[in-house]
Chains A and B, each alone.
Chain A
């Protein structure tokens, strides 16, 4: 039997009962479409979370003060509250191998007033490296320079939300003065909007030179965190280790368990978030997978009915010389034809559904090639698995009995 003829037999067989074939295929369509749509939602969410983590900077390590609570310790003053990190620590870290840039920062909330309006916001004292390390861009004006940090200039760079709160819409605040806790600061720049909302709005901030903040506002040379940008992602863990060792030595602490600081690794955060979204994706996909399984059972049910209904035809085909393999190929082919066609339509429907979700539900969705390839593989496998038993059954029929079948 030639392959073209086999395809023709399969095609005519499926077409001979259009309604039934269509309905059976619908089961596979729904199954594949929901798997595609669910996985696109899961992967889209993962991408969105990863992007928002990346937006705080790339290859970032953050050193925070505060003792890690030792086992059995009676009192812990809380992470970040202790004053154990200093400007000198930041300067020392700069020399560690694998560190690209370091931005110490000290931040506190202050009441800000400007021309009769006032707001309460985060004031961040830092150095110009902050721009590169934390992925901040300047929209209008300039960021303060190293010289301005050294000379304790009273200059400030405002976040766009803060500008809106203090100066109103479309105002140019450059050259204006803002009063932070009785000290006058001249506005020299506005940062570009980064979006992001919730607990830390990166647009609602005021950046001032670290030295100015320490001199006029907070006192002391303590910093509340040190952001470190590593050279690349591969060496982040090594860099983290080197920084830990350096700080332990500087703070005269014998073991890492007693450290009075902690280092947060951005890639840890990414992998933690990824594992959450991966679990979510798996959950969604397995729920959708159940409907795919039901679709597969539908295929098997239909193929068994078809084999019973066409018993005499099978008998005839065998009587005129069809081999068992040819009967198997024909009925298996019909099942695979249905699932592949259903899979193709399912991918299209799933793609449409994920587009609809991202349009109407403002959720990011990504249909990846791997999920499309997987859908095709699975639908082909379903055709094979659920079509094999009916096809085997057809091929095992005794031609004499099959011809007599009523």
Chain B
């Protein structure tokens, strides 16, 4: 359902062309839990942007649910992000001075969902993301890092996306909270959702079913973690 074929992404600055991604090909099936791992500067963020339809590749084809995303316009890309993708950003990117509920319901605003329906679904997803109900009316900047991450996860879930993309979801958390957040992802995975985690930590990648290792824009390893986990 998510198919990358010979994806290349070049950046041009002046006369110099640098390739962030070189000829990457892989397929991720529905319900998979995948970690994309690599050191910083390896091109994993660029890869995430392409998978998340925030950016289009220079060369290659990217099929999402059978649709070739590589050639879509910006507003068509926005429509795909709205309907099919849930982002969990490294630094959460919550709206400051806005309540938890408003933050979580924001994607539904752009989907044109009615208020009552928005609130109902926000409460559902907040439960799924594991945030206590007492925090729902708190402002996002009054929350702890772990709570903010849960709000960000709930926001990523609310549009019932085909893929959840998480960029360094534990990067800003202490190891204990990080573990709780990874537990949440695992639980969501068990509910049948497709989850892609971008990370540079092998311990985080080990929680996934499959690890795609990327270095200098090239995929150097794509292996199943089943044996490691068991």
- Cβ contact within 8 Å between B54 and A321: no
- Cβ contact within 8 Å between B110 and A1: yes
Residues 315-326 of A, flagged 1 when their CB comes within 8 A of B and 0 if not, give: 111111111111
Secondary structure of the A side of the interface?
Answer: helix
How far apart sit A321 and B78, CA to CA, in the bound complex (Å)? Answer: 5
Complex interface residues of chain A between 293 and 333 (CB less than 8 A to chain B): 312-313, 315-326
Cβ 8 A contact of A323, one of B75, B89, B97: B75
How many B residues are at the interface, by size bracket?
20 to 34
- Cβ contact within 8 Å between B55 and A5: no
Cβ 8 A contact of A316, one of B52, B79, B82, B95: B95
Cβ 8 A contact of B49, one of A16, A312, A318, A400: A400
Complex interface residues of chain A between 110 and 146 (CB less than 8 A to chain B): none
Complex interface residues of chain B between 55 and 92 (CB less than 8 A to chain A): 55, 74-75, 78-79, 81-83, 87, 89
How far apart sit A403 and B54, CA to CA, in the bound complex (Å)? Answer: 11
- Residues A321 and B75 in contact in the complex (CB < 8 Å), given A1-B109, A1-B110, A1-B112: no
| Cβ-based interface call for B210 (8 A) | no
- Residues A323 and B78 in contact in the complex (CB < 8 Å), given A16-B97, A316-B95, A400-B49: yes
Complex interface residues of chain B between 33 and 66 (CB less than 8 A to chain A): 49, 52, 54-55
Chain A residue nearest in CB terms to B95: A313
| Cβ-based interface call for A12 (8 A) | yes
- Cβ contact within 8 Å between A321 and B79: yes
- Cβ contact within 8 Å between A319 and B87: yes
Complex interface residues of chain B between 140 and 172 (CB less than 8 A to chain A): 155, 159
- Cβ contact within 8 Å between A321 and B110: yes
Chain A residue nearest in CB terms to B111: A321
- Cβ contact within 8 Å between B81 and A320: yes
How far apart sit A320 and B87, CA to CA, in the bound complex (Å)? Answer: 7
How far apart sit A238 and B38, CA to CA, in the bound complex (Å)? Answer: 96
Residue of A2, A9, A321, A325 with most chain B CB atoms under a 10 A cut-off: A321
- Cβ contact within 8 Å between A321 and B107: yes
| Cβ-based interface call for A399 (8 A) | yes
Residues of B within 8 A of A325 (CB): 75
A394 to chain B, nearest CB (A): 14
A83 to chain B, nearest CB (A): 88
How far apart sit A270 and B83, CA to CA, in the bound complex (Å)? Answer: 69
How far apart sit A403 and B167, CA to CA, in the bound complex (Å)? Answer: 13
Residues 90-107 of B, flagged 1 when their CB comes within 8 A of A and 0 if not, give: 000101011000000011
Residues 380-406 of A, flagged 1 when their CB comes within 8 A of B and 0 if not, give: 000000000000000000011001000
- Residues A322 and B93 in contact in the complex (CB < 8 Å), given A399-B54, A400-B49: no
Residues 75-86 of A, flagged 1 when their CB comes within 8 A of B and 0 if not, give: 000000000000
Interface residues of chain B, those whose CB is within 8 Å of chain A, are: 49, 52, 54-55, 74-75, 78-79, 81-83, 87, 89, 93, 95, 97-98, 106-107, 109-112, 114, 155, 159
User: What are 16 A-B residue pairs whose CB atoms fall within 8 Å in the complex?
Assistant: A1-B110, A319-B89, A319-B93, A320-B82, A320-B106, A320-B110, A320-B159, A321-B159, A322-B110, A323-B79, A324-B78, A325-B75, A399-B54, A400-B49, A400-B54, A403-B89
Those 6 A-B pairs whose CB atoms lie nearest each other, nearest first:
A321-B82, A321-B81, A320-B107, A316-B93, A5-B109, A321-B110
Extra contacts besides A315-B93, A319-B81, A400-B55 (9): CB < 8 Å? A1-B109, A312-B93, A317-B106, A321-B78, A321-B110, A321-B159, A322-B78, A324-B74, A400-B49
